[in-house]
Amino acid sequence: MSEPDILNERVELKVSDGTAMAGYVARPHDHGPHAGIIVLQEAFGVNSHIRHVAERLAQEGFVSIAPELFHRTAHGFEGDYMNFQPAMPHIRAMTAEGTEADLRAVFDWLRQAPGVSAIHSMGFCMGGRVSFLANSILPLQSAVSYYGGGIAPELLPRAAALKAPMLFFWGGRDKHIPPEQRHAVVDALSAAGKSFINVEFSEADHGFNCDERPSYHPRSAKLAWDLTLDFLNS
């Protein structure tokens, strides 16, 4: 069976602080209506993995856009999974105010796109954290976070502001996000009375969804993807 036709393009978005942000767009060939989804990058940029995620979502009927969150310091940055250091200056340069402005710009782009209805967010690693942030400021339909480092403790004060149900994925072997941080996220959302699903794959490590990483765990990745689609379509 052949895969559905999709269209892909690169667009430029104007951000409220006067900067320009590139985005990679993948969308179904027909005009919809379709849900929109913001695909939020890892620290390694809008690379082939993130573009592939956007394309997979387009094949499932979503209008997806992956914004370049490092656009202020490194337009077009694509890092090496075996060398994290080059990404560090760009991560440190990010601010809450700038990231919020980026999220509002990409949300507005989706809202104005022809045939787009409800809008979701989905992020990986650094982007998993940004997906949580997006859910605290945007009227999303739902949000997904894959191994979102830094949600706890930095963003937990925003738990009460979450607008939509949230799905979290964690790797039980992830040394980057220790159990106490994962538990803190669950406790904060429970205390705030928010709707969420929390999934931990005991055999998975950080980055388990990415088939370009040594930590790729196919079984966990497939289960997470199937649950993600069910969650987004519910």
Encode pLDDT of 125-184 as tens digits. Answer: 999 999 999 999 999 999 999 999 999 999 999 999 999 999 999 999 999 999 999 999
Cα separation, 82 vs 63, whole angstroms: 31
Residue ranges making up the domain that contains 42: 6-233
The yes-or-no answer on residue 174 being catalytic is: yes
Asked whether residue 72 is domain-assigned, the answer is: yes
Question: Is 125 among the catalytic positions?
Answer: yes
* Selected catalytic residue, list 174, 205, 210, 217: 174
On whether residue 164 sits in a domain, the answer given is: yes
The yes-or-no answer on residue 31 being catalytic is no
Identify the CATH number of the domain in which residue 163 sits. 3.40.50.1820
For the chain, what is the domain count?
A: 1
For the question of whether the overall pTM of this predicted structure is more than 0.75, the answer is: yes
Longest Cα–Cα distance of the chain, Å, equals 47
Tell the burial category of 106 from Cβ atoms under 10 Å away from its Cβ (0-12, 13-18, 19+). Answer: buried
Q: Does any domain span residue 179?
A: yes
Rounded distance between C-alpha atoms, residue 174 and residue 11, angstroms: 34
Q: Which of 71, 120, 206, 217 is catalytic?
A: 206
- Distance between first and last Cα of the chain: 25
In a domain, 1, yes or no: no
pLDDT of residue 32: 82
Domain assignment present for 56: yes
In this prediction, residues 6-31 reach a mean pLDDT of 96
